[in-house]
Amino acid sequence: MLQLRPRPALAAGIVLGGLAFGGFGAFAGDAPAPLTVTVTASGTLQPSQDLSLNFGAAGRLVGVDVQRGQHVSKGQALAAVDPTQAQANLRSAVANLASARAHLLQLEGRLTPPEHRQSRAARQRAELAATQAQSALQLAREAADSNVAARAAALDRANAKLAAAQADLAAAQQTLSDAAAKVAELKSQAATIQSRINGNQEQKAGLEGTQSSLQTQLQGAQDDLQTDQASLQDAQQRKSTECTADPSGAACSSATADVTEAQARVDNDHARISDFRLRLSSTQSSIGDLGKGITSDQNSLSDVNAKLSDANGAYGEAKSAAQTAQSKVDGATDAVTSAQDAARSGNQQEAQTLLNARDAVATAKVGVESALADNAAKARSGKAGELQAARTAVDAAEAAVANAREALASTTLRAPADGTIATVNGTVGELTGGGGGGSAFITLVDLGTYDVNVLVDEIDVAHIHPGQQAKVTISGADVRLTATVAAVDTLSTTDKGDVRYGVRLVVAGSDPSLRPGMTAEATFTLGA
């Protein structure tokens, strides 16, 4: 037999605060993102389905056909206990049934031929009706099992599509976030380059003004040089004339002084011209360097603007892809809801059909009993009680045979569903107990889906609701998966004065590296 075991919830973790970007268009220039809060809670990764299997009765193990970690299929033999006693019991029950039937036939033979035919016909009609009702019940059970399995499979497919759509949405949102960051980065680069261009242009304009002023001053110095050189020539000519006539005269001395003064002015003019030319050359060199820098920055700005145009296009595509992914998630969520509603409604209809079939079986059994009662009433006086007792004995013997066959079949333990063997508690030759309690002989788990159960503080639980998404990090496998809140407990759990509520999460998808018992950390993001 199998037993379902409840999952224990583990304690909640730390509440952390942080900034998160939301929406599709968050990049430079937009309003600041709202403050969000994350709540973390640690738990243990456990399979969603965990079946405890035991033999129906105690016995000595004669075969264990599976081992821990082995995948098995529904109906596959897992282990067997010694069937010797069950086989003997079945042979004894069959023999008792044959004896009871022979005794009944012997008693029925004492009736008159018409009474015997009438009794047998009535009983056969009633038994036929009972057989037909039982067959109808069996067909209803098989149809119900098939329909329930089909609806469950449809729900599994819908959940798988939802998980895939959620994964695609997460990837699309990450791409959108990356695209927005790239646009902001390129805008910042363009602004920096443009600012540098503007500064260099202002500096170049100032230097060009300085260049114009220096050119004007240079031209003035050159004009002064021409004037002073003409004065020097005049002074030198006077000196030659005066000093030739009277070398020691006052006129010669005055002319010599004029030459010296004129020469000083010419020398000063040359010095000024050299200084202006040096300063003008330096200014022109700086203007040239600034011009080259401006040209280089303008080329860089053109490249950045081209990249920014491409980045804006990529951002638009990423935004459209994220919106499409969100629509797919919405559609997949609606499909899951529809599949859940269909399963719920169909299962209710199946249950009602089975109830009606069971009622028909019960009615047919009443008909058999009524026919037996009528036959007994028609029996000869003094034989009615004996015939009824014989028929009752036959019924009891038939039930004993059915029970013995069921007991023999139960000596082989079979898998009630597809799954993986988690534990095997027994070896060949040991005595194993029945299914009335104690530890499971074999534990069968479904590694296709996993749950994580955690405890969340009363302050935070109001912000957590079924259908909410959470991120689950598996430490041992270094895997990060998306999970959905399946249920939030209505009743609280108190531990050392702390009030908490249990939250069960269903992990979307699976990973070959996942193992039951791995530490899982669930992170809930709560809005501001």
What pLDDT band is residue 111 in, cutting at 50, 70 and 90?
A: low
Residue 152, in any domain of the structure: yes
Query: What is the model's pLDDT at position 234?
Result: 94
Residue 66, in any domain of the structure: no
d(CA 26, CA 398): 77
d(CA 343, CA 154): 9
Percentage of residues in the chain with pLDDT exceeding 90? 48
DSSP states of 312-336: HHHHHHHHHHHHHHHHHHHHHHHHH
What pLDDT band is residue 29 in, cutting at 50, 70 and 90?
A: very low
SS3 457: strand
Q: Is the pLDDT of residue 151 over 80?
A: yes
Residue 448, in any domain of the structure: no
Q: Is the pLDDT of residue 121 over 50?
A: yes
What pLDDT band is residue 356 in, cutting at 50, 70 and 90?
A: confident
Query: What is the model's pLDDT at position 387?
Result: 77
- HSE-CB of 47 using CA atoms within 13 angstroms: 18
Tell me the pLDDT tens digit for each residue of 461-487: 889 999 999 999 988 777 888 999 999
DSSP states of 15-67: EEEEE---SS---TTSPPPPEEEEEEEEEE-EES-EEEE--SS-EEEEEE---
Q: Is the pLDDT of residue 13 over 80?
A: no
Query: What is the model's pLDDT at position 2?
Result: 42
Residues 6+ apart with CB under 8 A from 196: 297
Q: Is the pLDDT of residue 128 over 80?
A: yes
Q: Is the pLDDT of residue 280 over 60?
A: yes
Which amino acid, one-letter code, is at 488? V
Residue 116, in any domain of the structure: no
Tell me the pLDDT tens digit for each residue of 54-81: 888 788 999 999 998 899 999 999 999 9
> In this structure, what DSSP letter does residue 379 have?
S
Residue 177, in any domain of the structure: yes
Query: What is the model's pLDDT at position 271?
Result: 96
Query: What is the model's pLDDT at position 126?
Result: 82
Q: What is the CATH number of the domain that holds 190?
A: 1.10.287.950
Q: Taking residues 185-195, what's their average pLDDT?
A: 95
Q: Is the pLDDT of residue 330 over 90?
A: yes
Query: What is the model's pLDDT at position 23?
Result: 36
> What's the structural domain count of the chain?
1
Q: Which residue has the higher pLDDT, 128 or 298?
A: 298
Q: Which residue has the higher pLDDT, 375 or 149?
A: 149
Q: Which residue has the higher pLDDT, 195 or 124?
A: 195
Length reported for the chain = 528
Question: Phi/psi at 462 (nearest 5 deg)?
Answer: -65, -20
Range in 9-18, 157-166, 471-480, 505-514 with the lowest mean pLDDT? 9-18
Q: Taking residues 367-391, what's their average pLDDT?
A: 69
What pLDDT band is residue 103 in, cutting at 50, 70 and 90?
A: confident
Q: Residue 236 pairs with which residues in a beta bridge?
A: none
SS3 513: coil
What pLDDT band is residue 106 in, cutting at 50, 70 and 90?
A: confident
Residue 513, in any domain of the structure: no
Q: Is the pLDDT of residue 372 over 90?
A: no
Query: What is the model's pLDDT at position 50?
Result: 80
d(CA 62, CA 432): 11
Rama region for 509: left / alpha / beta (φ>0; ψ in -120 to 50; rest): left
Query: What is the model's pLDDT at position 297?
Result: 93
Percentage of residues in the chain with pLDDT exceeding 70? 88
Q: Is the pLDDT of residue 7 over 70?
A: no
Query: What is the model's pLDDT at position 386?
Result: 79
What pLDDT band is residue 437 in, cutting at 50, 70 and 90?
A: low
What pLDDT band is residue 426 in, cutting at 50, 70 and 90?
A: confident
Domain that holds residue 170: 131-375
Q: Is the pLDDT of residue 381 over 60?
A: no
What pLDDT band is residue 144 in, cutting at 50, 70 and 90?
A: confident
Q: Taking residues 174-187, what's their average pLDDT?
A: 94
Average pLDDT, the chain: 85
Q: Taking residues 268-297, what's their average pLDDT?
A: 94
Q: Is the pLDDT of residue 312 over 90?
A: yes
Q: Taking residues 35-47, what's their average pLDDT?
A: 83
- SS3 for 155-220 is HHHHHHHHHHHHHHHHHHHHHHHHHHHHHHHHHHHHHHHHHHHHHHHHHHHHHHHHHHHHHHHHHH
Q: Which residue has the higher pLDDT, 30 or 475?
A: 475
Query: What is the model's pLDDT at position 33?
Result: 54
Residue 71, in any domain of the structure: no
Q: Which residue has the higher pLDDT, 226 or 344?
A: 226
Q: Is the pLDDT of residue 380 over 60?
A: no
Residue 19, in any domain of the structure: no
Query: What is the model's pLDDT at position 5?
Result: 44
